[in-house]
Amino acid sequence: MANLTAVILAAGKGTRMKSKLPKVLHKVGGHPMLEHVMDAAEAAGCRNNVVVIGHGADLVRELVGNRAQIALQAEQLGTGHAVLQAADTLRDFTGTVMILCGDTPLLEAEELRKFYEAHVKSGASATVMSAMMEDPFGYGRILRDEKGDVAGIVEEKDAAPEQKKIKEINTGNYCVEAPLLFEVLKTLGNDNAQGEYYLTDVLAKLRGMGKKVGGVVSADSEMIMGVNSRRQLAVAESVMNRRILGRLMDEGVTIMDPASTFIEKSVKIAPDTVIYPFTWLQGETAIGEDSEIGPNVRMKNVKTEKGCRVQFAYVCDCEVKKGAEPRPFVQYSPAFVLENE
């Protein structure tokens, strides 16, 4: 979609992660969180995307490579300030800017596509993706008017007691028309509890200009989960693994015990293969049909042909030929080719 571009916010330090690694580079499902977000944006039809970097800029820039343009937020002054850093890069862009957070690895392309389509259909100048949460603590609350349009968003630290009871929360994902987005961003102030330039204030300013601001409720509250701590990282990992295993089972793979099986997003497994408990499959591993993997197996970047049997082994950067059965309790060296004996 030539009239849709994404601005992905990836400048934050992630203090609660207590890590020297930038937050968006922590892995979920074997891949950095930011990579998942870029994948979803591209699959949803976003083109000429911009990633806003800041903390650990060189490391994040290395991951992004040539997949997106880079905008640097040298000083982290809030989400509104972060998006504004993309203004120069997108100065000639006329269309919809989809604003996403680089720490939301569970976002899926289909949900983003529906979000964009709802935005276009509504004719709104801006649309926010929201979600219903039983425990909305910590999230910005969606304020709606009598017509159901979004009247504004109030952050947790700025919310009045009655507003804190609202269960509809801001996911941090937006569709906003450009160049209007950047014109409004330049007018933001930072008179709030955090002393930051809030992206949410753009919506209130658009309302004040008589522009329509819409809201689309996400059907999946898990999908919009942001990762700010190691505990949340573990939750996201669990959700991602459950999704991956579910997809594989739907494609004809038998997984004997999903609770003890861990398979990364990039792994491919052909139908009629059985995965036994305590199996961990990583990287570019590809398993041929009618194979049996596990129990107690770790495989990384391994290609296996049809009908292989692997158990009680660590196999890395190897090739397993048709019908081969690697010996158990052996670690196989990289580039080793296991033949059918």
Q: What is the pTM of this model?
A: 0.93
Q: Which of 191, 217, 243 is the last residue of a domain?
A: 217
Q: Which domain holds residue 34?
A: 4-217
pLDDT for the residue numbered 84:
98
| Residue 247, φ and ψ in degrees, nearest 5 | -65, -45
Residue 223 inside a domain? The answer is no
Residue 38 domain-assigned? yes
Question: Does residue 284 share a domain with residue 195?
Answer: no
- Tell me, yes or no, whether 131 and 256 share the same domain: no
Question: Within a domain: residue 233?
Answer: no
Do residue 211 and residue 290 come from a single domain?
no
Q: Are residues 95 and 192 in the same domain?
A: yes
Q: Give how far Cα 267 sits from Cα of 147, 241, 271, 280, Å.
A: 47, 12, 13, 10
What is the count of structural domains for the chain?
Answer: 2
Name the pairing type of β-strands 274-275 and 27-28: unpaired
Residue 163 forms part of a structural domain: yes
95 inside domain: yes
Picking from 82, 101, 6, the residue whose alpha carbon sits closest to that of residue 44 is 6
Same domain? For 305 and 171 the reply is no
Distance CA 209, CA 205 (A): 6
Q: Read off the CATH number of the domain in which 284 is found.
A: 2.160.10.10
Co-location of 207 and 284 in the same domain: no
Q: Which of 16, 91, 247, 327 is catalytic?
A: 16
CA-to-CA dists, residue 291 to 57, 115, 285, 300, 301, angstroms: 43, 40, 13, 16, 16
Residues 41 and 106 in one domain: yes
As beta bridge partners, residue 255 has 275
Q: For the chain, report the end-to-end CA distance as a whole number of angstroms.
A: 52
* Tokens describing residue 313: 């082994």
> What's the chain's length in residues?
341
**Peptide bond preceding 32 in cis form (omega within 30 of 0):** no
In the residue annotation, 16 being an active-site residue is answered as yes
Listed in sequence order, the residues at least 6 apart from 211 whose beta carbon sits closer than 8 Å to its beta carbon are: 124, 125, 126, 180
79 and 206 part of one domain: yes
Rounded CA-CA distance 141/160 in Å is 10
In order of 29, 142, 281, 305, 331, the CA distances from 317 in angstroms are 19, 49, 12, 14, 11
Query: Which of 161, 196, 217 is a domain's end point?
Result: 217
Query: Which residues, at least 6 apart from 146, have a Cβ–Cβ distance to it below 8 Å?
Result: none
Residues 212 and 257 in one domain: no
Residue 188 in domain: yes
CA-closest candidate to residue 10, choices 46, 56, 66: 56
SS3 content of the chain, % helix, strand, coil (to 5): 25, 30, 45
Q: What is the CATH number of the domain that holds 192?
A: 3.90.550.10
- Shared-domain flag, residues 289 and 205: no
Q: Is 208 exposed, middle or buried (0-12, 13-18, 19+ CB in 10 A)?
A: exposed
Residue 239 lies in a domain: no
Burial of 6 (0-12, 13-18, 19+ CB in 10 A): buried
Give 162-165 contacts, CB < 8 A, sequence gap 24+.
164/136, 164/137
Domain boundary among 198, 217, 236: 217
Cis ω before 334 (30° cut-off from 0): no
pLDDT score for 2: 66
| Tens digit of each residue's pLDDT, the chain (341 residues) | 669 999 999 999 899 999 999 999 999 999 999 999 999 999 999 999 999 999 999 999 999 999 999 999 999 999 999 999 999 999 999 999 999 999 999 999 999 999 999 999 999 999 999 999 999 998 999 999 998 899 989 988 889 999 999 999 999 999 999 999 999 999 999 887 788 898 989 998 999 999 999 999 987 888 999 999 999 999 999 999 999 999 999 999 999 999 999 999 999 999 999 999 999 999 999 999 999 999 999 999 999 999 999 999 999 999 998 888 888 877 777 766 767 76
Residue 236 within any structural domain of the chain: no
The reply to whether 266 and 331 lie within a common domain is yes
C-alpha to C-alpha distances, 113 to 6, 46, 91, nearest whole angstrom: 12, 9, 24
Mark whether 270 and 208 lie in a shared domain. Answer: no
